[in-house]
Structure 1
Amino acid sequence: MTDASTRQLLDRFLEAVVPMPSLVCVWAHGSLAGGDYQPGRSDLDLIAVVERRSAPAQEARLVEVHENLTVTHPLAAKLHCSYVAADEWDDLTGTHLTWAHEELLHRPVTPVTRRELHDFGKVLHGPPPAELLPPVTDRQLADFVAADLAHFWRPALDHPERWLRDIWVDLGLLTLARASVTLRTGALITKAEALDVLTGLSAPSDVVNDIRQRRYGSPEPASEQWQVRRAELTRAFLVPAIERVLTGGSP
């Protein structure tokens, strides 16, 4: 389900990119496809498949499309889209032109995203993921999730200043919960479901409630004292929790 403003943004985006000669299809993944989308809070995560890797002129056109949307639509800053050539799917680590955070980047389409597309991807234009996207094995998915915890999130805990920010607290805890389920069962869960998992894992209840309010409620601005305390609680929970997940135990 999407609101009128989100539908309008998606319609305008499709009106701009579908006429491009090389475009094959556009898919949504993440919360937009998985049923946990929160207008104005969630990102709009899209994948566009093109016939061939974008040439400089095409890149300039894509920048123009996204910049124009940012000017004319209030939600456009949250619209992220990777442009993947149809013959480049076999390389799990290959990077693809991506518009995110209001700039062009190059980044991979992760095994998690690929599994989301197969399990519940939403077709906005063209053929479905099953016709073009190679399947992701359970081992590929598990290896990626474990490596993400070990090589990104665990080292990040050695930088206390990061954890004063909402985004680190939210993603750190939600990623841990989602990873624990994926590594145990092979399933992907939503952020809403991850909050319930965190409660069952004895994560700090005040921090879990804080995340829930910012994602689904009407939160008050956080005081500096609470930001410091929240960071301490989050890091104290995540350090041993990540270690237990990576060694096959329960957080």
Structure 2
Amino acid sequence: MHGATDLLLTRFLDDIVPAVPLVALWAHGSLAAGDYQPGRSDLDLIAVVERPINREEWKRLKHLHGALDLPLAEHLHCSYLPEAELADLKAEHVTWAHDHLFQRPVTPVTRRELHAGALELYGPPPGELLPPVSDEELVTFVRTDLEEFWLANTHGRRHWLTDIWVDLGLLTVARATVTLRDGRLITKREALDVLAELDAPPLVVADIRARRYGLPRPALSRFRRAKLARAFVRTAAKHALR
């Protein structure tokens, strides 16, 4: 593991154990899948706790996360799942991401990733605690996410001027296409190759790849990129949903 990443995770675990009734801590996403890019990838964590986070623990977590002063700390995200709610796909869980605490569900995609190969940092593995996600539950979530979020957001323009929307939009559509077609999950690295198969705009794909892997970026204005990305996501999402 990358030195600064290892140091951050060690420090975080040392801090979190006395802060909440921790049962397990797992990493998923790029770090667990072997596609982690230090400084560019998020550190996606799931913490299982004995019971729901109370008001005092909420304040403690807010301070703990905000006080992490190590390199890469801004990329660390963590959701806190009470043991009694592990089977509830719709339950919203305390989550630290993007510099604040809020509540959101842990998606079927994340749950499937955890079962497929989590990085176990503390406590029992996912297979001993987390109920499996059925193929039907996975497909239903992916279709809903494509239709109600990504496809709906192709009607606006401003979001698509940002790196994060371009990256997530194209990569999510590619990954969703494979899940709906083949029933499997793929990494972001694999999604970049799938985008070529889906006839995604080559310059936009090259731009995403360059920023993700530290390569020279193509000449492409963000306004042209936004137009191309939005149009592709709209077309590809509709095709995947057929």
* Range into which the TM-score falls when normalised by the shorter chain: over 0.9
RMSD: 1.3
DSSP 3-state at the match of 1:52: coil
Q: Which amino acid aligns with 2:17?
A: V
Distance 1:20 1:231 in 2: 43
Distance 1:75 1:217 in 2: 16
Residues 28-85 of structure 1 deviation map (CA, whole Å, 9 limit, x = unaligned)? 011111111100000000000000001111111111211110xx21211110000110
Distance 1:66 1:186 in 2: 36
Distance 2:119 2:34 in 1: 10
Q: Which amino acid aligns with 2:79?
A: S
Are 2:198 and 1:201 equivalent residues in the alignment? yes
What's the CA shift for 1:184? 0.9
| Gaps in structure 1 of 5+ consecutive residues | none
In structure 1, the residue matched to 2:236 is 241
TM, length-normalised to structure 2:
0.97
| Gaps in structure 2 of 5+ consecutive residues | none
In structure 1, the residue matched to 2:66 is 67
Residues 82-140 of structure 1 deviation map (CA, whole Å, 9 limit, x = unaligned)? 01100001211110000111100100000000000000111000000000000000110
Residues 178-222 of structure 1 deviation map (CA, whole Å, 9 limit, x = unaligned)? 0000011111100000000001111110110000000002445x8
Are 2:71 and 1:105 equivalent residues in the alignment? no
Distance 2:193 2:18 in 1: 43
In structure 2, the residue matched to 1:230 is 225
Are 2:109 and 1:149 equivalent residues in the alignment? no
Percent identical = 57
Are 2:8 and 1:13 equivalent residues in the alignment? no
DSSP 3-state at the match of 1:83: strand
TM, length-normalised to structure 1:
0.93
Distance 1:139 1:152 in 2: 19
Aligned pairs, how many?
A: 242
In structure 1, the residue matched to 2:33 is 34
Are 2:218 and 1:213 equivalent residues in the alignment? no
Q: Which amino acid aligns with 1:175?
A: T
